[in-house]
Structure formats: C-alpha cells, structure tokens
Chains A and B, each alone.
Chain A
Amino acid sequence: MTTTLTPDQLEEFGNELDAIRQRVIADLGEDDAAYIRDIVKKQRQFEIAGRALFYLPPAWPLAVAALSVSKILDNMEIGHNVMHGQYDWMGDPGLSSRMYEWDNVCPSEQWKYSHNYIHHTFTNILGKDRDIGYGVLRMDEDQKWHPYYLGNPLYAVLLMVFFEWGVAMHDLEVENLVAGKRKVSENKALHRGIMRKVKRQALKDYVLFPALTGPFFPLTLAGNATANLVRNIWAFNIIFCGHFPAGVATFSEEECEDESRGHWYYRQLLGSANITGSPLFHLMSGNLSHQIEHHLFPDLPARRYPAIAPEVKALCERYDLPYNTGPLGKQLWSVASKICRLALPGRSRSHDPEPVVEPALAA
C-alpha cells in the first residue's frame, strides 16, 4: 500500500474518524427526523405546484422550475440519502432504504447495488469502481487510451443530458457485453427492472400529466421533459465534481488488498472532492457537495456533513492529508479540462496521489 501515513498513523486516523461517526450516531434524533420530513413535504409541495402551474401557460417557466426543484430534491437530498440507509433508524417505511423508490428511470434496487455496494466499497479503485467514467468516459490516466476516447467530451455531454438513463444503463455493463466479458442473459432481470421504471416514468411525465392539461399537452410534455433534463444536468455536474476534479486520487487493486479500516477511510478521503457553497446549494446537491464526508460516513444523515466537515478538515491538516475542495466553478472547470485532456493519449503516471488543487493548510 502506498500511503503517506504509517500503518500506526492510519489506525489512529481511522479511530479518530470512527469517534466522529459515533458521536453523530449517538446524537441522532428528533431534529434529523423533522428535517427529512420537512424536505419530503417541501418536495411534494414543489411537485404539486409544478404540476398545477402547467394549467397556466404564462407560468410555464415557473412550473418547470418548481418541478425541477422537486425532482432534484427527490433524487438528491431524499432518494440518494434515504437509499444509503441514512434514515433507517427512524423505522419509518416511507424513509427506509429497503422500500424507497425514487423518481428516476434507474430502479432503486439496482442502483443500491451498483452505488452503495460497488461504488462506495471500491471507491476509485481502477477496474473495480465502475463509476470511474461510467463505462463510457476516460476519467483517469491509468485507463488505457483508445481512439474511441477522442469523443470523450462529446460522450460527457451526452451522459450529462441523459444522465438518469446513463445511470440505469451503467448497471447493464454494456462495455463488458461488447468486450464479451458479460452475457446478455445476465442482464435479463436488470433489463426488466429498468423497463418497468421507464414505462412508469414515461407514462406519468410524457402521457398522463400532459393529457390532464388538455389543450396544453405539448407545453406540459415539454415542461416535464425539461424538468427531467435540468435534474440530469444538475446531478451529473454535482457528482462529477465530487470525484473527478484534479487532485483526486485513484488506486490500483493491488494497493487495496487486505485493506485496513484506516486505509479504507484514507482512500475514501483521497477519492472524493467537496464543493463550497451556501446552505441552499448544499441542500440542492443532496449535501453531496460534502462528498468527502459522504464517502467517509455514507450512512450518516447528510444534513450532518456540513457540521462535521471542519473536524474532518482539521484532521486532514494534522495528518498532512489533502482535503480537496473549491467553489463549483473551479471544480467544474477542473473536471471539464480533465475530460478534454484525457480524450487524447496521456502519459501514464505513478500511483502516488497527485498534488491537490487546494491543500488543506492553505484553505
């Protein structure tokens, strides 16, 4: 394992993070429950307002905005976090990771496997974490270059526009089908699950609600499609800024064999990046603007991340570890340049983590 910490330091580092986690868990209670219920209520209100405003054609932009906000809240602060089991302790079936289904074409069951298990366990391990490039993009120098990747920026734009579809298709491992590493028959159940959700969403957003607005059918249809698009673009950008800005490290499978808990934390820290912003921005990003804290503690209610972030950052300073953060514009620019740079054949590099954009000490 190549780390900048000794095994003893890693263990100590892990213990300190465990202590933060314990403190939050012991403190979970009414405030957290009231918070998530309030967000759910707001999301439903935005949705109802959005659907209703389509009856008033001049209010079309407002309707799209309300529905977009509803879909973003549903997928990010509610869906993503509930499906991580962050609110399972409440015992409310409506907020249980086992039952929750989100407004997205990717079935929750399938997403929980590829996201909660594969991505969160093997974060940024090349060859294991399929979120690196989503099987479409070249997002790391260690991914072998191929003329196909000349289209990297184009694929990224397409992935952004059709993000929910990309996330659903992601699990079908199309690239492995093409490479002959996966059989079509293995996808049967997944395919059925996706089709069921696709049909439901298409029926709701592209048939029923437009039909209910009668003569405004085309306007409502376009509005619903726009809201889905807005949610796709927003989610893509937040997620890509959480893992692909300059300074985020990737790891090899060999490095992570027989990994200690401390090293797991270390890898989660180095494999994630934060975005700075206002409380409203954090809410709309599902607190994935605190991707570092989320990767360290995926099952703690996301509303707690802003409060523990300073402690995590202070810990990083003490251990002289990078804490990758920056405003949205900067992180986006960094991701975009990486996507473009990696379209071309690049040098291979050592597994040492790259220097970060903003060292913790300087921030």
Chain B
Amino acid sequence: MSLAQSLLRSRAVAALTSPHGVDRYLEIVNPMWAAAEVRARVVHVRRETSGEHPVATLTLQPTSTWRGHRAGQYVQVGVELPGSSRRLARCFSISSAASAPGEQFTLTIRAHDEGQVSKFLVRDARLGQVLHLSQADGEFTLTGSPATPSPHPVLLISGGSGITPVMSMVRTLLRDGYDRRANRPVTFVHYARSAGDQIFADELAEIAAADNDIDVHVHHGDDRFSAIALARLVPGFRDVDTWACGPAGLIDLVCAAYDTSDRLRLEFFKPPSVASGSADGDVTFTTSDRSAANTGTPLLVQAEAVGLTPVFGCRMGICFTCISRKTEGTVRNVLTGEESSLPDEDIRICVSAPVGDCVVDL
C-alpha cells in the first residue's frame, strides 16, 4: 500500500472527514480516487458477438481499493442509467484470469431483453465511463492455487454466458503455466445456442488446438447436455471435481446427472421473475427462513402474520423506518399502484404488497 493510501485510510483522516468519510470528498475531485469504495473506469470495449442478444467484453481499470479476484468469482456492478440517474446494481462473473489488487480485469456480458443493466453495459458503455463496484465475491472458485500441480482432474461445464467464470478459470490455469506436466487434465464442455452466439470462439479454438492438456468440447443448437455423452468424455465424471455454470435448464440436467455427488459445484442464473398481476405465489423471508402463501397485503403485515417483528414506524409510507431489501419478485405500492420488479431493491414494506412470488431479506 502506498503512503498516500495509508494516509487516506488513517484514523486521523477519518476523524477529519467525519461524518461523511474521506471517499465523499475524494469522489468530487476524481472518481478514481478512493480510500474504501471500489469504482472502475471502462478502458476497453470489445464486441464478442452481435445478433439478437449481443455480447461485449469490458476491460475495467479498478481503483487501488480493488482487492483482486479469484477465478470464478463475480462482482456487483452499479451503473447510473442515462435519463433517470437511478443507480442499478447487478452481479456479473469476471471473465479474465485471477487479478491482483488494483489490477485490470474484464467482464463479458450478454444483453438480455429485460436486463436494463446488461443492455446498457453491452450497447452503451463508453470508454472512460466510471462504474461502481463491490469487491469480488463468490465461492464458485477453483480449490487451492490454480497453478498447483494436483493429481485430480478438472471438469468444467458451461452454457451460454455461463462461460465467463469458467473461462476465468481456464485463463488463470494457462496464464499460471498450466500444461501437461501438471498431470491434471481439464475437460471443458460448453453449450451455446448457435455458432453465432458462441462467446470466445477464436480463443476456445486456440486452446483446443494447443498442446496444453485442456480438452475443449463445444456444442451448438440442439446438441444438449446428456449424462451418457459426458460419461464417454470423462468416465466416472461423478467422482471428478466439476464446476458447472449456465442457465437453469442446463443446471437441472447436470444436477440430475450428478445425482448426490458432492464433487459438483454450481453457479446459475435465475431468469427474471415476471409479475403475474395477482396475489398468487409465495412470499419468502430469507433471513428468518420463513415462507407463506402471498395474501396480497403489504409485506409488513405478511411478515407479522408469520411471526416476524420487522421494525416499522408510521405504517403509511412516510417515515422510511421499515425499509427492507427485496431480492426477487414484484411489489405494488398500495398508495400509488406503481409496480416495481427490480431485483435487490430497497422498499418500504408497510406500503409494498407483493404481486406473485416475492423474496425479502427479513
């Protein structure tokens, strides 16, 4: 850590900038200066695929506060959408090899129809733009040091844009000098909708052609995952350390194939839940691990009905005491009728009634 950084993170500077904190002053001078927060500048944008759901890779230069990432981890990205200045945050897997503190890394993102953030990042992110970041997180990572020789083979299965964390693993292995001498064969099986939708096609071809003990199998279109085909590639795959990432459909098939094997590690993307326009569905309170049928009343009432005691104040939407995080689902503001389906949204539970399934951190 440089002297300037140690100084900025010192207790003396914290006391001088209290109660706002040093980052609230630094950001005014230069958004890339930070003592605690993490931000990143877009330094390169590369189109990976075009078509209906285009994919782009953004290279990000993070602030010095970035602690680096392990292959397979994700990062939460916050962007302010033009026109509203509303900051939305979504998680994306990192596609580049493991990074060190302050080091550049890449995100490879597919633009989804409903995904305001992914659409914006793929289509409209411009060079020099500053994004808000979390530190890297997630346990879907290669065990131990990727470069450590190990007798255990590795099996990687991915579908669609689920290739990103897996690609980070492969790139880390190769960068760190992985080769045949490691005696740790890697099998990489990927499923893409079509050749046109294939992300990293050229790089995958190069990896496949090179003499590196990484066995690449790419499937397109109707060529879906099957346990029989996998068994032909990797006999006894249930006993092989496996990392699988992709859409729910693929993950369901993989889970069925692995049955109860504890060698399988998963990461999957949930499709955005669609509002049903009624009070059907279930309400789940994650912190207390409780669930009940949605009664259509405000979440505060429903939480109390299952025995929870969330803090509240006015019970009429004015005091913001009862703010809680809704992680999934749609809520309707009972005062205004306005519906909102944003994931990871802070809502006033006293005036928010769930529409269909809803998950709240309570």
The contact string, 1 if C-beta is below 8 Å from chain A, for chain B 198-210, is 0000000000000
Q: Contact between B318 and A204 (Cβ–Cβ < 8 Å)?
A: no
Tell me if B85 is interfacial: C-beta within 8 Å of chain A: yes
Knowing A112-B319, A116-B313, the reply to whether A94 touches B85 (Cβ < 8 A) is no
Tell me if B19 is interfacial: C-beta within 8 Å of chain A: yes
Q: Contact between A204 and B314 (Cβ–Cβ < 8 Å)?
A: no
With A and B bound together, what is the CA distance between A101 and B323 in angstroms?
Answer: 17
With A and B bound together, what is the CA distance between A270 and B18 in angstroms?
Answer: 38
Tell me if B1 is interfacial: C-beta within 8 Å of chain A: no
Contact residues on A (Cβ < 8 Å of other chain), bracket: 35 or more
Tell me if A151 is interfacial: C-beta within 8 Å of chain B: no
The contact string, 1 if C-beta is below 8 Å from chain A, for chain B 3-26, is 000000000100110111000110
With A and B bound together, what is the CA distance between A92 and B317 in angstroms?
Answer: 20
Knowing A22-B336, A91-B88, the reply to whether A29 touches B83 (Cβ < 8 A) is yes
Kindly identify, within residues 36 to 74 of chain A, every residue whose CB is under 8 Å from any CB belonging to chain B.
40-41, 44-45, 48
Tell me if B120 is interfacial: C-beta within 8 Å of chain A: no
**Looking across the interface, which residue of chain B has its beta carbon closest to that of A47?**
B25
Give the contact stretch, choosing among A81-89, A139-147, A272-280: A81-89
Tell me if B28 is interfacial: C-beta within 8 Å of chain A: yes
Q: Contact between B84 and A120 (Cβ–Cβ < 8 Å)?
A: no
Tell me if A360 is interfacial: C-beta within 8 Å of chain B: no
Tell me if A314 is interfacial: C-beta within 8 Å of chain B: no
With A and B bound together, what is the CA distance between A46 and B49 in angstroms?
Answer: 49
Cβ-defined partner of B319 (8 Å) among A40, A116, A204, A209: A116
Q: Contact between A299 and B25 (Cβ–Cβ < 8 Å)?
A: no
Q: Contact between A197 and B319 (Cβ–Cβ < 8 Å)?
A: no
* B63–chain A nearest beta-carbon distance, Å: 15
Kindly identify, within residues 197 to 249 of chain A, every residue whose CB is under 8 Å from any CB belonging to chain B.
197, 200-201, 203-204, 208-209
* A103–chain B nearest beta-carbon distance, Å: 6
Contact residues on B (Cβ < 8 Å of other chain), bracket: 20 to 34
Q: Contact between B313 and A113 (Cβ–Cβ < 8 Å)?
A: yes
The residues of B that contact A21 with a CB separation of less than 8 Å are: 336
Q: Contact between A44 and B336 (Cβ–Cβ < 8 Å)?
A: no
* A224–chain B nearest beta-carbon distance, Å: 12
With A and B bound together, what is the CA distance between A97 and B88 in angstroms?
Answer: 17
Cβ-defined partner of A97 (8 Å) among B24, B28, B320: B320
Tell me if B321 is interfacial: C-beta within 8 Å of chain A: yes
Kindly identify, within residues 279 to 332 of chain A, every residue whose CB is under 8 Å from any CB belonging to chain B.
298-299
Q: Contact between B15 and A204 (Cβ–Cβ < 8 Å)?
A: yes
Tell me if B176 is interfacial: C-beta within 8 Å of chain A: no
Cβ-defined partner of A30 (8 Å) among B85, B313, B316: B85
**Looking across the interface, which residue of chain B has its beta carbon closest to that of A268?**
B318
Tell me if B343 is interfacial: C-beta within 8 Å of chain A: no
The residues of B that contact A98 with a CB separation of less than 8 Å are: 320, 323, 346
The contact string, 1 if C-beta is below 8 Å from chain A, for chain B 217-256, is 0000000000000000000000000000000000000000
With A and B bound together, what is the CA distance between A88 and B85 in angstroms?
Answer: 12
With A and B bound together, what is the CA distance between A193 and B317 in angstroms?
Answer: 26
Output the residue of B88, B317, B321 with the most chain A CB within 10 A: B321
Tell me if B305 is interfacial: C-beta within 8 Å of chain A: no
The residues of B that contact A22 with a CB separation of less than 8 Å are: 336
The residues of A that contact B78 with a CB separation of less than 8 Å are: 91
**Looking across the interface, which residue of chain B has its beta carbon closest to that of A121?**
B314
With A and B bound together, what is the CA distance between A32 and B86 in angstroms?
Answer: 11
Output the residue of B28, B314, B318 with the most chain A CB within 10 A: B318
With A and B bound together, what is the CA distance between A90 and B342 in angstroms?
Answer: 13
Q: Contact between B83 and A30 (Cβ–Cβ < 8 Å)?
A: yes
**Looking across the interface, which residue of chain A has its beta carbon closest to that of B19?**
A101
Q: Contact between A94 and B24 (Cβ–Cβ < 8 Å)?
A: yes
The residues of B that contact A203 with a CB separation of less than 8 Å are: 15, 18
Tell me if A25 is interfacial: C-beta within 8 Å of chain B: yes
Q: Contact between B19 and A197 (Cβ–Cβ < 8 Å)?
A: yes
With A and B bound together, what is the CA distance between A204 and B13 in angstroms?
Answer: 10
With A and B bound together, what is the CA distance between A84 and B82 in angstroms?
Answer: 25
Q: Contact between B318 and A298 (Cβ–Cβ < 8 Å)?
A: yes
Q: A103-B19, A120-B314 are in contact. List 14 more A-B contacts (CB 8 A).
A: A29-B84, A33-B85, A44-B28, A91-B86, A91-B89, A97-B323, A101-B20, A116-B313, A117-B321, A201-B18, A204-B16, A208-B12, A208-B16, A299-B318
User: Can you list 16 residue pairs at the A/B interface with Cβ under 8 Å?
Assistant: A18-B336, A29-B84, A30-B84, A40-B24, A40-B28, A88-B323, A90-B85, A98-B323, A101-B20, A103-B20, A113-B321, A116-B314, A117-B321, A120-B318, A120-B319, A261-B316
The 5 closest A-B pairs by CB, nearest first: A33-B85, A117-B313, A91-B87, A101-B19, A85-B320
Query: Which residues from chain A sit less than 8 Å from chain B, CB to CB?
Result: 18, 21-22, 25, 28-30, 32-34, 40-41, 44-45, 48, 84-85, 88-92, 94, 96-98, 101-103, 112-113, 116-117, 120-121, 197, 200-201, 203-204, 208-209, 261, 264, 298-299
Query: Which residues from chain B sit less than 8 Å from chain A, CB to CB?
Result: 12, 15-16, 18-20, 24-25, 27-28, 78, 80, 82-89, 313-314, 316-321, 323, 335-336, 338, 346
